[in-house]
Amino acid sequence: MKKKLIEVALPLEAINKASAREKSIRHGHPSTLHLWWARRPLAAARAVIFAQMVDDPSSLPDLFPTEQKQQKERERLFRIIEELVKWENTTNETVLDQARAEIWQSWRRACAENADHPRAEKLFDRHSLPAFHDPFAGGGALPLEAQRLGLEAFASDLNPVAVLINKAMIEIPPHFAGCPPVNPEAQNNSGFVAREWKGAKGLAEDVRYYGQWMREEAEKRISEHYPPVEVTENMVTDRPDLKPYVGKKLTVIAWLWTRTVRSPNPAYADVRVPLASTFMLSTKPGKQAYIEPVILDADYTFTVKSGMPKDSERTKRGTKLARGANFECIMSSTVINDKYIKIESMAGRMGSRLMAIVAQGENERLYLTPTLEHEETANKATPEWMPDEPMNRKTRDLVSGRGYGFFKWADLFTPRQLLALTTYSDLVGEAMQQVRQDIPEAVLTDDHTRLRDGGMGATAYAEAVGVYLAFALSKIANVGSSITSWMSDRGAFRETFARQAIPMVWDYAESNSFAESGGSLIAALKKSTMVIDALPAITNASSEQSDAANQETSVSKLVSTDPPYYDNIGYADLSDFFYVWLRRSLQSVFPDLFATLTVPKTEELVATPYRHESRKKAEEFFLSGMTRAMHRLVGQTHPAFPVTIYYAFKQSENRTDTGTVSTGWETFLGAVIRAGFNISGTWPMRTEGAGRIVAKDTNALASSIVLVCRKRDSNAPTATRREFVTELKTGLPTALQQLQEGNIAPVDLAQAAIGPGMAVYTRYGKVLDAEGKPVPIRDALALINQILDETLAEQEGDFDADTRFALAWFEQNGFSNGQFGVADVLARAKNTSVDGLCDAGILDSKHGKVRLFKPSELPADWDPTSDERLTTWETVHHMIRVLESAGESGAAKLFAMLGTKAETARELAYRLYTICERKKRTSEALSYNGLVRSFPEIARLAGEAGTPRIEQAVLFGETEE
């Protein structure tokens, strides 16, 4: 089968840039429909699937007989990808049609060449693209983008919340594509009736309408529990800023509470004292506000004041003393430690107290002193139902307060929050009945077939609207628990799942679902309907609950998937937070999907020790299950295409003399290889911003590596370790050079080099050592790292003597001082001298100490054309100096003056990054990485300015004048 573009080259910089930018986009992004953890960026998903289906020019020698012509065609495909990944082109049909046309062109070539295939009629139908399947669909980015590219999409997952998300994104919208809204307001509006309702826009309009209906109904039932706050004359006495609001009743946006425990001081044992992590309410310039505790004889009150407090540091920390659960008693200054708080909370004696009220003013937030009326109103709420399902207290991902009295999911919510959520949950069912009653025959037939049975009539449509309304309920829950906090710098809520866990929150923000700010139903509907509006809804799709290790859906399909990452996150445990509410609202719609009280957990493919008695058994479970899942793909997927598999690589899990080792990475690779895959490529997809390129002393997920896999030949030969090493030494330097010439970021170089290295390893059925034992994956990875390091070191031969000295000195000392005697010996070995290095302007030598100059210390008037001792070291660091002070346009001027020296500078930057990454020199690593990443743009700007242009290297070895 022909090689696909993804097996040869990718415009990684454009994909990574678009993926990083996407993380800051909220309006209309599918992630705002329903929360899911660690979604793949749409840009990366779209680019990978496109490159997975389109032929690489090297596989078309009749059309592109020379390397130059192949490279030119490859660059044309790159330009399509570069447009395809832009967020603003997500729904641009012109751009999408161009991508779809390329996919069809490659597909028809495959059909023509396989006309004699024994299963040609089924596998190679030139009139129908192969379908797509993701067996670990999760948040649904991959099936959604496959659908957007014109493929029939299939999604499956063991987790019912993930299955429902995929139904909402890819399965439901095509059923009702082009349908006008059915609500009475739309039907009575002649403009609405005459309008063309493309895609799921009519469905989105009905979700808006019936969501508003739910809000109005809820207001009739429970609004007395959400009173407005009146600004009185007494409030204005110390708050002149409130004078314009006297006598007005303002909508409350949030009630800010603090948790309390009994004072450990016997003199105040009857006083419940606050565990407040801050007393600052707003830190916005000109809008500062804070809480001032007022101590009475045997109690205390809270008063809200505007401006900055006198003791700002104490106000910022509230009653908190240090990291963790350590506070001081507001009455006596007695220390309240974690042990005491746990005893009190586990005994059910942790309470809460209202600290402040946030109200909606005229285009501003108003912070007001709490009132007894508002505190009592909240405490009077009595929900008729609550989610009493127990939380899994063994997992690390659930409330870091699992020792603080949280036993059931209901414990995460206040009584008033439970009342609101149960009311809205009831209204989801009532809204479905209302939709069913409102549907005119002219729009949808009186069809009682259920949505779960593939119905497309009136009953199914009503249930479809109900799914999206239930999702709005999930959004309210995410900002409507006692784990939600208030961000004083933004004047907004920090949702429950601000990260992939439920953290303990000591002072929490209770939202008002009837307001129009964050946490309200209106805000939830606005975000959701923007997503529904933009869903492609162009091909049939299906989402089902199934175990990836046993599924049959992948047969004859294109597969791209994002499996669980060893032991990172137990999504099943976290998903229960939403599941308990979705089940209450939608169990009648999807009884099979919500058959269990909580999300199934036993078969979830994560190496979680608490489920398997020990870490070793947990690892065995993951390896066995993932191997079976990968084995299904090896035997089922369409033979014309490689399989692409995402893996979130940890930047550092364990460092050894041979490099970074990641147990999860090795275990995952082992499953893929054991299943029978040959790995033909690894592409680092980086979605973090520049500040996260090197996670300083952390174990953060640094990259998603996309593995490109083909089924390994059953007759694959056996190789010795020596043969494996020889082939690595022969092929890896060429692959490395191609990656560097393609301007891959230094931070991604090691991961990308794994691809060609593992391609050699997995080409063989076995690689055996001198004793006839299989060479483990860990050893293979270590050898790849070793040869990568040797190859980079060999590039030092291209550098001048002064640069070779500086490189060796930098590896040992960085920019810090070292002994003159050591420097003198090293300089002689490198055929230079300390005096000469000082003359070259790269070294400072004083008082028996030697130090390399930092980029910021180099002279701003440096002119490389008149430098009589020009070094590559100077070139790199002056480029960094100018880039960081004057940007890419300034660096372009220097680039032009350097001429051919610039390309050698890029090689040195790669080498220096590798050293910094190993030595944990974060800031320097960012500088070298940034220089390489900016190289193409600097060269382009230099050319546009009309400066003499050097030969610029482009991807995979060709040059352009």
**Section 655-669 average pLDDT:** 59
pLDDT digits (tens, 9 = 90+) for 92-115: 999 999 999 999 999 999 999 999
Element (H, E) at 925: helix 922-944
Res. 961: pLDDT tops 60: no
Q: How far is Cα 181 from Cα 185, in angstroms, rounded to an integer?
A: 9
Res. 609: pLDDT tops 80: no
Res. 116: pLDDT tops 90: yes
What per-residue confidence (pLDDT) applies to 654?
45
Name the pLDDT band for 444 (thresholds 50, 70, 90): confident
Lowest mean pLDDT among 190-199, 411-420, 760-769: 190-199
| Beta-ladder partners of 302 | 293
- Which residue type is seen at 660? T
**Section 199-214 average pLDDT:** 96
What per-residue confidence (pLDDT) applies to 946?
54
What is the percentage of the chain residues whose pLDDT exceeds 90? 66
Res. 689: pLDDT tops 50: no
Res. 955: pLDDT tops 80: no
Res. 526: pLDDT tops 80: yes
What per-residue confidence (pLDDT) applies to 131?
98
CA 478 to chain centre: 18
More confident residue, 402 or 931: 931
Instruction: Determine contact, residues 752/684, Cβ cutoff 8 Å.
Output: yes
**Section 124-152 average pLDDT:** 97
Name the pLDDT band for 397 (thresholds 50, 70, 90): low
Q: Structure pTM?
A: 0.85
User: In sequence order, what are the residues at sequence separation of 6 or more whose Cβ sits closer than 8 angstroms to the Cβ of residue 66?
Assistant: none
Pairing of strands 766-768, 659-661: unpaired
What is the percentage of the chain residues whose pLDDT exceeds 70? 93
Instruction: Determine contact, residues 852/810, Cβ cutoff 8 Å.
Output: yes
What per-residue confidence (pLDDT) applies to 27?
86
- Rg of the chain, C-alpha, whole Å: 31
What per-residue confidence (pLDDT) applies to 736?
80
Token readout for 506 is 């000591």
User: In sequence order, what are the residues at sequence separation of 6 or more whose Cβ sits closer than 8 angstroms to the Cβ of residue 403?
Assistant: 342, 345, 346
Lowest mean pLDDT among 194-203, 234-243, 526-535, 730-739: 730-739
User: In sequence order, what are the residues at sequence separation of 6 or more whose Cβ sits closer than 8 angstroms to the Cβ of residue 709?
Assistant: 642, 643, 644, 645, 672, 677, 678, 679, 680
**Secondary structure of 547-605 in HEC code, one letter for each residue:** CCCCCCCCCCCEEEECCCCCCCCCHHHHHHHHHHHHHHHHCCCCCCCCCCCCCCCCCCC
| Beta-ladder partners of 257 | 354, 508
Coil, helix or strand at residue 936: helix
Lowest mean pLDDT among 671-675, 694-698, 861-865, 922-926: 694-698
User: In sequence order, what are the residues at sequence separation of 6 or more whose Cβ sits closer than 8 angstroms to the Cβ of residue 751?
Assistant: 649, 682, 684, 703, 705
What per-residue confidence (pLDDT) applies to 505?
93
**Section 363-369 average pLDDT:** 95
Lowest mean pLDDT among 146-150, 531-535, 645-649, 661-665: 661-665
How big, in percent rounded to 5, are the helix, strand and coil portions of the chain?
Answer: 50, 15, 35
Res. 945: pLDDT tops 90: no
More confident residue, 924 or 568: 924
**Section 478-485 average pLDDT:** 96
Q: How far is Cα 826 from Cα 763, in angstroms, rounded to an integer?
A: 43
What per-residue confidence (pLDDT) applies to 660?
42
Res. 568: pLDDT tops 80: no
Element (H, E) at 47: helix 42-53
Lowest mean pLDDT among 37-51, 187-201, 723-737, 817-831: 187-201
Res. 952: pLDDT tops 50: no
**Section 240-254 average pLDDT:** 95
CA separation (Å) from 860 to 47, 69, 864, 866, 880? 42, 43, 12, 14, 12
pLDDT digits (tens, 9 = 90+) for 834-869: 999 999 999 999 999 999 999 999 999 999 989 889
pLDDT digits (tens, 9 = 90+) for 577-586: 999 999 999 9
What per-residue confidence (pLDDT) applies to 799?
87
What per-residue confidence (pLDDT) applies to 905?
86
**Section 18-44 average pLDDT:** 90
Q: How far is Cα 139 from Cα 569, in angstroms, rounded to an integer?
A: 14
**Section 566-573 average pLDDT:** 76
pLDDT digits (tens, 9 = 90+) for 315-357: 999 999 977 789 999 999 999 999 999 999 999 999 999 999 9
**What value does the mean pLDDT of the chain take?**
89
**Section 300-320 average pLDDT:** 93
Q: How far is Cα 182 from Cα 165, in angstroms, rounded to an integer?
A: 23
DSSP 111-150: HHHTTTSTTHHHH--TTSPPPEEETT-TT-HHHHHHHHTT
